[in-house]
Copies of this chain bind each other. A is one copy, B any other.
Amino acid sequence: MYSYSCLKALFEPKAIAVIGISADPQDKASIITANLLASGYKGKIFPVNGEGAEVHGLGAFSSVSQLPRGIDLALICLPPDEAIQAIDDLSEILVRAAVVTSGGFGETGREGYRLERELARTAKNHDMIILGPNCMGLMNTALGMNASLDPDFTLKGNIAFLSQSGAMCSTALDWANSEGVGFSKFISLGNKAVLGEATMLNYLANDEDTKVIVGYCETLKDGQDFLRTAYDTTFKKPLILLRAGETPSGARAASAHAGHLTGATTAYNAAFNQTGVMQAVDIEDMFNLAHAFSCQPLPSGSNVAIITNSGGPGILATDMAEKGTLNISRPSSSTLEKMKEVLPRYASLYNPIDMLGDANADTYHKVLRAVAEDDVFHSILIILTPAANILEDVEKAAADIIELEKECDKPIITCFMGDHSTRKARRMLRAAGIPCYEFPEAAVRSLDAMTRCYRWQKKDWPIDVCFRRDYSKAKSIVENCRKTGLTELVELDAQQLASAYELPVPETVLARTSNQAAKAAKRIGYPVALKVASPQISRKQELGLVITDIQTPQALRKAFLEITTRATRRCKDAYITGCLVQAMGPKDSHEIVVTFKRDPQFGPLINFSLAGLHVDLLGDVSSRLAPLALNDAQEMIREIKAYPILRGVRSGTAVNLGALEDVLLMVSQMASDLPEIQEAEFDPVIAGPDGAVVANMRMTVS
């Protein structure tokens, strides 16, 4: 993370140098200078061009070295090589922040990527921060500063917008200007050589001008940093992100576009869920959510009232609400009484409140007032279709809503359907800070997201659990494995490692002969399981090299022979150490699978599911990024669809959920402690009413 003074230099510079102005008035540096001037930037501007000639009426300098001290921010529009040199030169006069708009870096391939890394290194050496390269710049409306290539300066507002894609920046500006929506900060991140989302969130979370943060991303820089910062941010203000590159083809395109590797979509989804990010479903949704969050309060619960003058749209809104997380609750009896006085006999009072086509502005007003005063409801959706009775009255209805909204502490979202007849009213409502959509579905999506956001912010703070563990023992096991050149731990070592993290493992003895096996089994107590022991054999179960539930010494000897013979035959090059004799897990149990895998972007992703072919095919898996807090582990277990099985549905066995939570937390700790472990599978974890045992495991090291 970067020092706050650097970020302050970037967002609130007192003096700006613009570097790279040529004779061409259409060059980027010239445009950016013009935009700075046009936006009314009050600080000093120092253009640098080769000749030192005047630029937009400003005295110019012929080189960076001639610039005075006291410059906070440099806007650099130079080819890669020169841009890197400029960073070097700027450090001499103690500039702390730069925006590099120029392309020719990572987006162009290998050589460009080398230059981008050099740019980042140079900046780091001088303790400077850089926005970009290959970006459009930034705007800060509080300062009246348009330090970007886009001449459309935005209105002042409370939305901070950040985007990796320049086109999405232009689209957002265009949308905002046409809707009368404003921004607090507007940031084009470009290639993110130095500054990524995490640092920006760090700044924006504490920016008093910003109420809601909205962003578009294809990749995220510094996944682990992002997790921490996003988490801290979302408890303070809503964070809405649209991510592109979810599907394999999309990810390929994103990678070609940005020149970065993207993480797995499961990891992204886990990251967003875990940190309270509201994920937009598409561009339109992103804008709709931005507007709704910026101008309406969050609802303090899930109960929504839907008021409509037409059945169809009311039903569609009800469907959409119920598919999400909203409740269509019944109004209180006093509200019912109030409504009965104004509504016709055939009206539906029980939510969706269908006032029928007879409703006029007065009906809307009275019903809305009754609903607004009803404690049952936490949010209100008003639908108006241009029926004959309201046609003359549409703007009056809008004006009434605007008046009533001022004293209402619940969020109100509206949907005025139709084109000409309702256009003016829509504009009135939006201008008054009441979102108004043309179709009901979008309105419900906004309310649903706001409700989820409220619930997130009310969530208990996570409980971090730390287990006693023998880190040095674990580390030495991993090191020993790496020394022998193996990429996978042999099972006994893996067991030792698991034990170092207090993971419950069954008693296991290595037997080199069937006699040794019988002796071990006697000590452990029948029934036992027998598995091949060989550093070269990993998928024992699939190769038929595991026999479970052995009841007698005779059966054990037979099993020993069977396994070793089969192993010699099936794995010709493997060294067969013997067999492992293992205590069986508890009876009346369920088989669980816990795994983790390191995501390139976010680190270890931990997965939880039941064992079995069905589960694999149906994908009933919950995932979280490490480190897990207690509530994460609890949620992981409860959010799989098969969870009732663990609760003992239909007279099955109920397992000890606490024991499973412990397993998840221990695995999380192991994954965070030991970056050398690339992947691990605990399959199966045998869970019963009294506890859980990890009956089998695999770990690969790098």
A residues adjacent to B (C-beta < 8 A): 107-109, 149, 163-168, 170-171, 174-175, 177-178, 216, 218, 242, 244-250, 253-254, 256-258, 282-284, 309-316, 318-323, 328, 345-346, 348, 350, 352, 354, 357, 385-388, 417-421, 438-442, 542, 610, 612-615, 617-620, 641-642, 644-645, 649-650, 652
Residues of B within 8 A of A348 (CB): 253, 256-257
- Contact (Cβ within 8 A) B644 A249: no
Residues of B within 8 A of A310 (CB): 165-168
Residues of B within 8 A of A164 (CB): 312
- Contact (Cβ within 8 A) A244 B315: yes
Picked from B245, B257, B385, the residue with its CB within 8 Å of the CB of A171 is B385
- Contact (Cβ within 8 A) B620 A346: no
Residues of B within 8 A of A167 (CB): 309-313, 357, 385, 387, 417
- Contact (Cβ within 8 A) B357 A166: yes
- Contact (Cβ within 8 A) A246 B319: yes
Residues of B within 8 A of A253 (CB): 311, 314-315, 318, 348, 352, 354
User: What are 8 of the A-B contact pairs (CB < 8 Å)?
Assistant: A167-B417, A174-B420, A247-B318, A257-B312, A283-B316, A542-B650, A613-B645, A617-B641
- Contact (Cβ within 8 A) B282 A439: yes
- Contact (Cβ within 8 A) B165 A312: yes
Picked from B178, B315, B319, B610, the residue with its CB within 8 Å of the CB of A257 is B315
Query: Which residue of chain B has its CB nearest to the CB of A242?
Result: B316
Contact A247-B323, Cβ < 8 Å, known A310-B166, A312-B165: yes
How distant is the Cα of A613 from the Cα of B651 in the complex, in angstroms? Answer: 12
Query: Which of A166, A312, A438, A620 counts the most B-chain CB atoms under 10 A from its CB?
Result: A312
Picked from B346, B618, B650, the residue with its CB within 8 Å of the CB of A618 is B618
- Contact (Cβ within 8 A) A174 B249: no
Query: Which residue of chain B has its CB nearest to the CB of A149?
Result: B388
Report the minimum CB–CB distance from A319 to chain B (whole Å): 4
- Given A253-B318, A282-B320, A614-B618: 8 more A-B contacts, CB < 8 Å: A166-B310, A167-B417, A171-B385, A218-B312, A244-B319, A253-B315, A253-B352, A613-B652
Residues of B within 8 A of A108 (CB): 345-346
Contact A311-B258, Cβ < 8 Å, known A167-B387, A253-B352, A620-B618: yes
Residues of B within 8 A of A438 (CB): 284
How distant is the Cα of A508 from the Cα of B102 in the complex, in angstroms? Answer: 82
- Contact (Cβ within 8 A) B417 A315: no
- Contact (Cβ within 8 A) B418 A316: no
Residues of B within 8 A of A614 (CB): 610, 612, 614-615, 618, 620, 642, 645
How distant is the Cα of A442 from the Cα of B282 in the complex, in angstroms? Answer: 9
Query: Which residue of chain B has its CB nearest to the CB of A309?
Result: B167
Residues of B within 8 A of A174 (CB): 386, 417-421
Residues of B within 8 A of A312 (CB): 163-165, 167-168, 216, 218, 244, 257
How distant is the Cα of A376 from the Cα of B175 in the complex, in angstroms? Answer: 36
Residues of B within 8 A of A242 (CB): 316
Contact A441-B318, Cβ < 8 Å, known A108-B346, A175-B419, A328-B249: no
Residues of B within 8 A of A163 (CB): 312
How distant is the Cα of A253 from the Cα of B631 in the complex, in angstroms? Answer: 37
Query: 5 tightest CB-CB pairs across the interface, nearest first?
Result: A167-B310, A165-B312, A257-B311, A250-B319, A247-B322
- Contact (Cβ within 8 A) B315 A245: yes
Query: Which of A258, A319, A542 counts the most B-chain CB atoms under 10 A from its CB?
Result: A319
Report the minimum CB–CB distance from A14 to chain B (whole Å): 30
- Contact (Cβ within 8 A) A311 B439: no
Query: Which residue of chain B has its CB nearest to the CB of A257?
Result: B311
How distant is the Cα of A618 from the Cα of B642 in the complex, in angstroms? Answer: 7
Residues of B within 8 A of A257 (CB): 311-312, 314-315, 348, 354
- Contact (Cβ within 8 A) B170 A418: yes
- Contact (Cβ within 8 A) A649 B613: yes
- Contact (Cβ within 8 A) B284 A250: no
Report the minimum CB–CB distance from A261 to chain B (whole Å): 15
Contact A282-B313, Cβ < 8 Å, known A170-B386, A387-B170: no
How distant is the Cα of A163 from the Cα of B109 in the complex, in angstroms? Answer: 54
